[in-house]
Structure 1
C-alpha cells in the first residue's frame, strides 16, 4: 500500500484545511496518508502580533529524513510575495542529503497553496514548490482539468492546473469553499493513484 505525506505550513488555517482534504482524497484512492506540518520559524512576538493559528491536530514533522519513507509527498504553503514562505523553505533547505543520495528520485509530488487575492501569486508559488520537487527527482501531479469545477467564473474560486488553491481574502475571513476543498481531494486522489501505479 502506498504512503502519502501531506506536508504543510499554515499561518491562519486555510492551508491546514486544504491539507486535510488532500489527505482525504489520497485515502479514498486506497493510500495511507499522513498529515504533518513544518516547524514555525517566526519569532513568538510576530506569531502573537499577527494572530497566527497555533493550535493544530497535526503534529510537526520530526526531520527531513522522514520524507524518504513516503511514496508521494504533497506540499502545501501559502503565498508570501509570490513564493513559498520561509518556514517551508527552511525545512526543504535541509534536504541536501536526500538530494545527494537520490532518496526522492521517482517519488510522486504535488503542491497546493493559498493567497489573499485572486491574483496573489498562486501559480508562481506553486512553481516555487514544484521546482524543489523536480530537483528532488519527483514526478509532478497537478490539478488536471478532469476536475472541471475549477473552470468558469460563476463564483470566486481557486484552482490551477499546477495545484489546488484557495483564496483567503485580505483579512483571512474567507474559508476554503466546497469547490476548492473538492479540488484538493481530487488532486490528493490523483497523486495517490499515480503512486499506487508506480509501486505496482
Structure 2
C-alpha cells in the first residue's frame, strides 16, 4: 500500500517552500504519494506589500475537510517568537469539526521549520504545536539524530531531533543550504517509511 502524505506549509518569503521541495523528494523516493498544500493567508495584500513579501507560490490552499484523505502529515512552519505564526494557528483552530469526530486519530505527523537565528525557536515551535496533535489523538514522529548533518559544527545547519529546518537570518537573506536540504530529503524519506508501515497496519485492521 502506498501512503498518501500531505505536506502543508506556510511561507512568507519562500524558505519553508524550499525545504518542502526536498521533503517531497524524500517522500517520493520511498514511493509515497506526496501532495503539497499551503494554509490560507490572513494578512491583506497591502500589509504583505509593505513587508516586501513575494507573490504566493502556486500551491493549493488546504481546507480542514481535506485532511482525513491523507495517511500522514508533514507541517512546514516558520517561527514567530518561538511559536507558529497566526496563519498556521488559524488553520489548526479550524479543525474543530474533525476533532469532534476524531477523524485524525492515529495518523502520524511531523514538522519542519525555519527561524531567523540558530536559537530563534526551532524546537519551541514544534513543542508549542504538539497540543494540536495530542487533542486529535495524532502520533508525533520526531526526526531524532539519524543523520550526520545534525552533528556538524563546520557551518550553521537548521534542524534538530524535532525535525528538519533552516536558518533564514533575521533579514531573510539566507536561503536553505545544501546540508539543510539534504537533511530535509532524508526527513521526508524517514517519515514516509513510518507512515507507510502505519497505513498498512490500519488497512489490515479493516480487512
The TM-score, its normalising length taken from structure 2, stands at 0.92
Asked if the contact 1:111/1:129 (under 8 Å) is kept, the reply is no
SS at 1:21 equivalent: helix
SS at 1:193 equivalent: helix
Query: What corresponds to 1:24 in structure 2?
Result: 25
Query: What corresponds to 1:79 in structure 2?
Result: 79
- The reply to whether residue 159 of structure 1 matches residue 159 of structure 2 is yes
- Mapping for residues 37-56 of structure 1, pairs under 5 Å: 37-56=38-57
Matched residue pairs, number?
Answer: 199
SS at 2:76 equivalent: strand
Note the residue ranges of structure 1 that are not aligned, 5 or more in a row: none
Alpha-carbon offset, residue 160 of structure 1? 0.7
Alpha-carbon offset, residue 53 of structure 1? 2.3
Note the residue ranges of structure 2 that are not aligned, 5 or more in a row: 201-207
Give deviations 1:67-114, integer Å, cap 9, x for gaps: 111000111111001100000000110101111111111111001110
What's the C-alpha RMSD, in Å, of the aligned pairs?
Answer: 1.1
Asked if the contact 1:38/1:91 (under 8 Å) is kept, the reply is yes
Query: What corresponds to 1:12 in structure 2?
Result: 13
Distance (Å, rounded) in 2 between the aligned partners of 1:128 and 1:20:
25
Asked if the contact 2:149/2:157 (under 8 Å) is kept, the reply is no
SS at 2:160 equivalent: coil
SS at 2:166 equivalent: strand
Distance (Å, rounded) in 1 between the aligned partners of 2:127 and 2:54:
26
State the 4+ residue runs in structure 1 displaced beyond 3 angstroms.
Answer: none
- Mapping for residues 48-197 of structure 1, pairs under 5 Å: 48-61=49-62, 63-197=63-197
Query: What corresponds to 1:34 in structure 2?
Result: 35
The TM-score, its normalising length taken from structure 1, stands at 0.95
Asked if the contact 1:143/1:183 (under 8 Å) is kept, the reply is no
Distance (Å, rounded) in 1 between the aligned partners of 2:37 and 2:9:
7
Please tell me whether Structure 1 or Structure 2 has the larger radius of gyration of its CA atoms. 2
Give deviations 1:36-83, integer Å, cap 9, x for gaps: 10111012221000011223132222x111111100011111100110
